Amino acid sequence: MRSNRSSLVSPALLAAPARSAGPAVVALALALAVLALAACKFPYPEELPVDALDAAPVDAPDAAVDAAPVDAPPTGIGAFAAAGTLVAGRMDAAAVRAGDRLYVVGGVVCAGCAAVGADGGGVTASVEVATVSAAGPGAFALASPLGRARAGAAAFRVTRGGNDWLYVVGGYRDDGGVTFPLEVERAAIAGDGTIGAFADVGGIALDEGRAHARALVTADHVYLIGGWAGGSSYRATVTAATIDGNGDLGAFAPVSGVQLSSARARVTLVSDGALTLVAGGHAAGAPVTAVERATLSGGTLTGFTAVPTLATARAGAIGFALGGRAWLAGGGAPIAGTATDSIETAQLSPAGPFVLNSRRLDQARVLAAGALLPAHVCVVGGSATAQRAGILDSVACAPLQ
């Protein structure tokens, strides 16, 4: 309370009634004095404190810190740098994150990679795993292998009803001739992220063998989009299976009325859970710039529509959603044997246009696997030439910013 002498009863006023007034007046004066002093709560005006509004605030929050967002989501990436080495260099593999572990599944391994088995075309059943943290991936080691060799397969995680599964579907093998397995494999994921043995899921299979399709998992479906069925046969169709409350898949069947505008494989799929972009890929052996978008409504995929194209034709690129944008990195022309280190990005909604980003991969890579980790985006293996002689065993990561 500020010192305000006029609000208090002066000693002179207190003395006056004693000389000239009766007892009632004296009593009234004394009562007023007591009330005034009680309101101030201090016995002497000289000891009144400075009003809190006049004083400097104690522990005032720093305005700059107070204005900064807490745990602001990343919207960009830093520079790619070396972040480890695979047990066996591989291209055309799939990557799946399960908790604090990153799995790299199948693919074509380098000709000199004696640490893992492969068929005549270099296709392997081996699986590698690394723990991941805010620092990035740790050392890679071999994990439980697939039941059969697969390259260009789709791998995805399904967690439902207390069950946690790592599924692997599609792909191809090459042991004296290219074949396309129809069997669906899965391994149980334990609470610590480790996996058990892979086994075929009885009673379900793909409706058609296809490799280089992309998997989109929603609340109650898994969709396989596009793909290659051998030779010059590419697919524009979408096939899907339902996911029940226990994480089990139903039979795969074509989705009526939902397909790409053109048949292609090795597309890059980017989804933020509401919008899905399918970008690039190749058809008739040549990479394309086409980009199409579909929406998800209640876990159901709608039809695709064309949106602004890529800045560069590319197939076999990695892709991820970050900061409301779609990102594509690397890729190239696999059949021609060329790769790129360029990165391009576009707004997800409304989609496009794609523009080249100033960031680049650590080196040109095509048919690499990509992974979005807690604090990094990583590119795993791939090839500099899309041939076994150019297969890479290196892993590079960029920090999320």
Q: What percent of the chain has pLDDT over 90?
A: 77
Weakest mean pLDDT among 44-48, 97-101, 143-147, 325-329:
44-48
49 confidence band (pLDDT: 50, 70, 90)? very low
Q: What is the pLDDT of residues 20-37, one digit of tens each?
A: 345 444 444 444 443 343
105 confidence band (pLDDT: 50, 70, 90)? very high
Specify the pTM.
0.82
Q: Residue 14 has what pLDDT?
A: 35
What CA–CA distance (Å, rounded) separates 309 from 242? 31
Weakest mean pLDDT among 31-40, 141-150, 243-252, 327-336:
31-40
What CA–CA distance (Å, rounded) separates 240 from 250? 9
The larger pLDDT score, comparing residue 351 to residue 3, is at 351
Q: Are 158 and 201 in contact (CB under 8 A)?
A: no
Q: Are 102 and 130 in contact (CB under 8 A)?
A: yes
The answer on pLDDT for 193 being more than 60 is: yes
Q: Are 273 and 285 in contact (CB under 8 A)?
A: no
Weakest mean pLDDT among 33-37, 256-260, 279-283, 319-323:
33-37
Q: Are 316 and 384 in contact (CB under 8 A)?
A: no
Q: Residue 285 has what pLDDT?
A: 78
E strand or H helix at 179? strand 178-179
**97-117 average pLDDT score:** 96
38 confidence band (pLDDT: 50, 70, 90)? very low
All domains of the chain in start order, with CATH: 5-67 (no CATH), 81-399 (2.120.10.80)
Cis-peptide, bond into residue 254, ω within 30° of zero: no
Half-sphere exposure of 386 (CA within 13 A, CB side): 20
